[in-house]
Amino acid sequence: MSVEAPSSEPQMASTSSSVQPAQKYGLRVNGKNWHAPKKAFRPTSGQTSYAKRKELDQLKQATKAREQEMRDEKEQERNRRIQAIKDRRKAKEEKERYEKMAEKMHRKLVERRKRREKRNKLLKS
Summarize pLDDT for 97-108 with one digit per residue, the tens: 888 888 888 888
Each residue of 11-53: pLDDT tens digit? 554 555 566 666 676 788 888 889 888 888 898 888 999 999 9
The per-residue pLDDT for 100 is: 87
Q: Name the percent of the chain lying above pLDDT 70.
A: 80
Is residue 63 a contact partner of residue 79, using CB atoms and an 8 Å limit? Answer: no
CB-neighbour burial class of residue 76 (10 A; exposed 0-12, middle 13-18, buried 19+): exposed
Is residue 1 a contact partner of residue 7, using CB atoms and an 8 Å limit? Answer: no
Is residue 37 a contact partner of residue 28, using CB atoms and an 8 Å limit? Answer: yes
Instruction: Look up the pTM and report it.
Output: 0.49
The residue type found at 72 is D
Each residue of 65-90: pLDDT tens digit? 999 999 999 999 999 999 999 999 99
